[in-house]
Structure 1
Amino acid sequence: MPQKNGNTGPDPTHYGATSPGSTSQQVEDGEGSVDINGGHGRLHRGLSARQVQMIAIAGTIGTGLFLGTGKSLAEGGPASILICYAIVGFVVYVTLLLLGEMATQYPVAGSFNAYTHRFFSPSYGFALSWNYWFNDAVSVASDLTAAQLVLQFWTVQHSWIVSLVFWVFLVGINAVHVRAYGELEYWLSSLKVVTIIIFIILGILVNVGVNQEHEYIGARYWYIPGAPFVGGFGGFAQVFVTASFAYGGTESLGITAGETKNPSRNMPRVVKFVFWRILLFYLLSILLIGLNVPWDYPNLSNQTTTTSPFTLVFQQAGSTVAASFMNTVILTSVLSAGNHALFAGTRVLYGLSVTSPRQAPTVFSWTSKNGVPIPALLLTSSVGALCFGSSFIGSGKLWGWLQNIVGVSNQIAWFSIGIASWRFRKAWLAQGRSLDELKFRPRWTWPWGPPFVVITVASIIIIQGWSSVIPTFSPVNFVSYYIEIPVMIIMYLAWMLIQHPGRPARTLQPGSSAGPRNPRSSSQTPLFNGSGARSSSRGRGRGSGKTWWYSDIVDIHTVDLYRDEHEEEEVDRMDDGERERRLKEVNFIQRALWRFLDFVA
């Protein structure tokens, strides 16, 4: 039966609600109380709709587009890159709709990791959460390595210094209030969006003859030897992992749901409008790259360096200043992408530390007075030190390996979102709920959406490493393509052993700082608002200690579908009103400029 709103549900305080008797000062932030003195506080809902949209764009339009397209063009050719990026783009769009439905209904910081835990399997959710944290942490290292590649456009001396400077800056900006992060992403993303629009216009002009040779280019580079499909099927297949790396970041929209003002209103808006812009930017840019840059251009992608095709198109326009400007924008996009990855990884690790049972040490649940999980930030940023390995194996090769690892991790995340969405809808219908009750319902993605995502992504994961096996076996490349799969299996089995039915349940005591005070479900592994479910068990003697195997697949008939209902808080309206008042205080020119930039972004 559908759950009623009221005092029969779990306590609405979650994510670090302080225990009884706590003396910490509490303030309202739009959903429950916040410990503003630090300690086991909550994340703050400080991101507006425009900032969340920019976070999605910032997380996707980055090194994968500006640098990864050069690697894809060199390995697969112009036709492969266009087809693969279009396929992956459509898969990610459907995935984003599925995630948006769950994130709007249950806006929590754990995002799809939490939904997989809640609706599919706690052990799988544990493995996925740590896999995605590793994804974000390695992405920081990847972006810092990319900064070295971008700097090589001007000089090859001491390129590691820019990585060190960026590393310190990223930690500093993420250590202050989440609004500072949101504002930085907003303006950096605005710069990237404007630059891509300029690139699209310039790319068309270069192609029709406004270039150094004053010649019409057309599609000539699609007919040079080796093109349009470079490397045959192997070259085509390996572009998938680069495309997956490039599109990675859109799924972190769900992670921002826990810090978004009025997620019921803002998340659907973000999901509906953001991805079409991203898809438009990608496909137009990639088409122009394939038309204007030959796949065999020197230094497009090799062991020591990778040249951005965006910079090459600006060079073709006949201006070294324009090329330097483009490279500078790429450098800022690297900074933005690293900022996004560090933010997302920090929130994933924080979410692991406040679940019940805990999936990460308690220390990572500590937040500053500004609501920033400092210990989680420090551990996530420390993985960025991998970027300094470029001194030993070359920046180009290291970036390629890290790119493969992150790309496969992104694919596992999309695969898992498909599973979680399918289980969520099945549970919703099995318990007699009406689909009209959903806060956001993408009608045309059900029932084919989840199986389409799961089957397509699984197929891509299998075939994309073709070039590492045929014609010759490359152990290092093979590992970079497939290492994530055994790691996921090991983490899954490890958590099943830790939570073995024969062991005492490792759940938090009611009233503790990170768990629900009044869980409604008697689940073995409650998550967030006590939202677990009875897990099925296979084997002899559940709880007797005699079974070596059991299944913790969640029972869709008993999973808790309760949602803590809340209306838009006064603080949200105050923020919107404050912005309008500030606009009225400035003169007409400043106001028009602000609204224009906001519109473009």
Structure 2
Amino acid sequence: MATYEKGVLPDPEKEAAREVQPAPAYDTEGRTASVVFKNEEFQKLSFWTRNGLNLESFKRREGYDTTNQLNQTMKSRHLHMIAIGGSIGAGFFVGSGSALSKGGPGALLIDFGIIGVMMFNVVYALGELAIMYPVSGGFYTYSTRFIDPSWGFAMGWNYVFQWAIVLPLELTVAAITVGYWDSDISVAVWITVFLVVIVFINIWGVLGYAEEEFWSSILKLSATIIFMIICLVMVCGGGPSEGIYSEYWGARNWYNPGAFANGFKGVCAVFVTAAFAFSGTELVGLAAAEASNPVRQLPGAIKQVFWRITLFYILGLFFVGLLIPYDDENLLGANPYVSVDASPFVLVGKYAGLKGFDSFMNVVIMLSVISIGMSGVYGGSRTLTALAEQDYAPKIFAYVDKSGRPLPSTAAICIFGVLAYVNLTSDGPTVFDWLLALSGLAALFTWGSICLAHIRFRAAWKYQGHTLDEIPFKAVGGVAGSYLGLFLIVLVLIAQFYIALFPLGGETSAENFFKSYLALPIVMLFWVCGYFWKRTGWLTIATIDVDSGRRHLDLDQVRADNAERALWPAWKRILNLMF
């Protein structure tokens, strides 16, 4: 790796002598020649081959670069819906019930608000990096490039296993949701049905996932909006006479039983549930690698995160805290992910006397958790493929067929779905708790790495004489926002460490500790394995390469656009940040 003198641009002749990946050329719409070639060649294929419905489509794709063999055909509407509704699933609809019982409505708002602020900065930092460096499997590649190749190895495998373990968790919740209507049919039957559905949709490749996410996100967002409107009516006392909300309800639950359960420890205990609920928010950055024009599509999708955090998480859970007391017996349970009755979204409909609303919300929950299962297969398989392309995983996982599907990687993640059946055995709940412990904090390490990679990218960018005007899309909070995000992540890890040592209603033990904090030793193990595999150390600012593979745009046009925006009135600049 070359070392650059501070404030001095690299010498062109020296750079030409270095063996670096050439920067891709971009057309006037921000697409690489590779993207145009892929799309043109893809459209020449037959309908059956494009959609993966004949044997020819399963053959290896030849004649494409190895840095991103995936189909880059995802549309703006897909990215927008993945950003605004992609991660709404069991953590939000079901896990919020457990969080309410542990911390109370006050803790619910504080913890989800803190995680929301953190995610706002994480996603913007990711958006800046993804537009500057359009590569597949971006989360771990940015850690490799700007932090440490060994740490990048750890983050890549951490992300793969995070989604591989989330898949059986979501399958189990979906199967148990059906038991709300008919408990006579074995959960194993529904796990099998939903796993087959997930495998079938993934046969259709990226567009199958994108279309499923588009429509399921519309359903989730519509249901949440309907829920909030109904809650507003219930709070004002407009509920049916058969229910408990037929008179003015107001904020009585904030006074009795109160705003906080279990005090400070309760606030700390809710953090991990909030983090689990936000898992998948970063998928919009991963999906950018398969977008047809990420320069134009990704910024708008990134900005939608603000609305999801504000309207759907914070406001939705605020109404939950108003209508359901934290000491409600239906919220209590050892494992909220195996009891869909614990969902406060279902309880509101039952208590209000709204016939059929509880069933409606259960349908939404079922489809939502299946959607997150889809995201698990998508996110895990794409990251595993990227690891293989960079020699961080066995080469078999670099296989991509003519329809743009990473078949071995997809199959590997889907195999983890069979772990959902362990919940049917006598020791199943214990095994399931350990699986949940593996995935509970994994996302925090991914988010922290994104913030740190952005901080170090900006430092290296400045060190090598570049200016902010050369960055086409800048994070709203800049480096300060990434520092804030990183600080909040460390804060959450400390809070969870405290709960691991002193659990709610339990005794301090090695088992309880590792059930709450197992992700840390797993990440450290991956980091050590990465070090012995690659034998690399922590990168210095002077050795970070910010030029190879960078998206080169018309800088004069970028500066002109920035100058034009600077002349806008304040209200227009604020709206541009949000939309």
Per the normalisation by structure 1, the TM-score is 0.78
Matched, 1:257 2:266: no
Distance 1:104 1:478, change over 3 A: same
Specify the alignment match of 2:423 in structure 1. 390
Matches within 5 A, 1:389-538: 389-392=422-425, 402-442=435-475, 444-470=476-502, 472-500=507-535
Match of 1:199 among 218, 221, 227: 227
| Secondary structure of the corresponding residue to residue 425 of structure 2 | helix
Distance 1:554 1:121, change over 3 A: farther
Distance 1:87 1:393, change over 3 A: farther
Give the number of the structure whose residues are more often helix, by fraction. Answer: 2
Matches within 5 A, 1:535-550: none
> Do the aligned partners of 1:428 and 1:561 also contact (CA within 8 Å) in 2?
no
Specify the alignment match of 2:113 in structure 1. 86
Distance 1:27 1:87, change over 3 A: closer
Deviations 1:96-122 (A, max 9, x none): 111111011112111121101001100
Specify the alignment match of 2:157 in structure 1. 130
Matched, 1:76 2:125: no
| Secondary structure of the corresponding residue to residue 109 of structure 1 | coil
Task: State the 1:436 CA deviation.
Answer: 0.5
Specify the alignment match of 2:173 in structure 1. 146
Distance 1:27 1:292, change over 3 A: closer
User: What stretches of structure 2 of length at least 5 have no aligned partner?
Assistant: 1-8, 26-34, 46-56, 63-68, 555-579
Specify the alignment match of 1:344 in structure 2. 379
> Do the aligned partners of 2:171 and 2:191 also contact (CA within 8 Å) in 1?
yes
Specify the alignment match of 1:119 in structure 2. 146
Deviations 1:451-494 (A, max 9, x none): 22222211211212433422621444421321111121122122
Deviations 1:99-158 (A, max 9, x none): 111011112111121101001100000001000111111111111121134233223341
Matches within 5 A, 1:6-155: 10-11=21-22, 28-29=37-38, 38-39=59-60, 42-155=69-182
> Do the aligned partners of 1:242 and 1:403 also contact (CA within 8 Å) in 2?
no
Provide the identity percentage.
34
Q: Which amino acid aligns with 1:333?
A: S
Q: Distance in 2 between matches of 1:396 and 1:201?
A: 37
Specify the alignment match of 1:167 in structure 2. 195
> Do the aligned partners of 1:61 and 1:192 also contact (CA within 8 Å) in 2?
yes
Distance 1:89 1:328, change over 3 A: same
Matches within 5 A, 1:255-334: 255-303=286-334, 305-306=339-340, 307-334=342-369
| Secondary structure of the corresponding residue to residue 29 of structure 1 | helix
> Do the aligned partners of 2:460 and 2:546 also contact (CA within 8 Å) in 1?
no
Q: Distance in 1 between matches of 2:494 and 2:74?
A: 38
> Do the aligned partners of 1:27 and 1:35 also contact (CA within 8 Å) in 2?
no
Matches within 5 A, 1:589-600: none
> Do the aligned partners of 2:83 and 2:283 also contact (CA within 8 Å) in 1?
yes
Q: Which amino acid aligns with 2:450?
A: I
> Do the aligned partners of 1:60 and 1:278 also contact (CA within 8 Å) in 2?
no
Matched, 1:224 2:251: no
Q: Which amino acid aligns with 1:407?
A: G
| Structure having greater relative contact order (Cα 8 Å, sep ≥ 6) | 2
Specify the alignment match of 1:573 in structure 2. none
Distance 1:464 1:3, change over 3 A: farther
Task: State the 1:66 CA deviation.
Answer: 0.6
Task: State the 1:298 CA deviation.
Answer: 2.3
Q: Distance in 2 between matches of 1:92 and 1:563?
A: 27
Distance 1:149 1:461, change over 3 A: farther
Match of 2:545 among 559, 562, 579: 559
Task: State the 1:404 CA deviation.
Answer: 4.4
Q: Distance in 2 between matches of 1:11 and 1:209?
A: 65
Q: Distance in 2 between matches of 1:321 and 1:258?
A: 41
Q: Distance in 1 between matches of 2:455 and 2:87?
A: 25
Q: Which amino acid aligns with 1:223?
A: Y
Q: Distance in 2 between matches of 1:3 and 1:445?
A: 32
| Secondary structure of the corresponding residue to residue 346 of structure 2 | helix
Q: Distance in 2 between matches of 1:84 and 1:558?
A: 35
Distance 1:554 1:39, change over 3 A: farther
Distance 1:364 1:198, change over 3 A: same
Deviates more, 1:447-456 or 1:193-202: 447-456
> Do the aligned partners of 2:437 and 2:519 also contact (CA within 8 Å) in 1?
no
| Secondary structure of the corresponding residue to residue 369 of structure 1 | coil
> Do the aligned partners of 2:172 and 2:420 also contact (CA within 8 Å) in 1?
yes
Specify the alignment match of 2:266 in structure 1. 235
Task: State the 1:406 CA deviation.
Answer: 2.4
> Do the aligned partners of 2:132 and 2:551 also contact (CA within 8 Å) in 1?
no
| Secondary structure of the corresponding residue to residue 362 of structure 2 | helix
Distance 1:395 1:308, change over 3 A: farther
> Do the aligned partners of 1:145 and 1:399 also contact (CA within 8 Å) in 2?
no
> Do the aligned partners of 1:245 and 1:403 also contact (CA within 8 Å) in 2?
no
Task: State the 1:399 CA deviation.
Answer: 6.2
Deviates more, 1:324-333 or 1:400-409: 400-409
Q: Distance in 2 between matches of 1:421 and 1:311?
A: 40
Q: Which amino acid aligns with 2:397?
A: F
Q: Distance in 2 between matches of 1:163 and 1:348?
A: 25
Distance 1:144 1:477, change over 3 A: farther
Specify the alignment match of 2:563 in structure 1. none
Per the normalisation by structure 2, the TM-score is 0.81
> Do the aligned partners of 1:468 and 1:475 also contact (CA within 8 Å) in 2?
no
Deviates more, 1:149-158 or 1:291-300: 149-158
Q: Which amino acid aligns with 1:561?
A: D
Distance 1:456 1:344, change over 3 A: same
Task: State the 1:398 CA deviation.
Answer: 6.6
- Superposed CA RMSD in Å reads 2.8
Deviates more, 1:81-90 or 1:406-415: 406-415
| Secondary structure of the corresponding residue to residue 329 of structure 2 | coil
Q: Which amino acid aligns with 1:323?
A: D
Distance 1:27 1:252, change over 3 A: closer
Q: Distance in 1 between matches of 2:61 and 2:388?
A: 10
Deviates more, 1:366-375 or 1:311-320: 311-320
Distance 1:466 1:413, change over 3 A: same
Specify the alignment match of 1:374 in structure 2. 407
Q: Distance in 2 between matches of 1:4 and 1:266?
A: 32
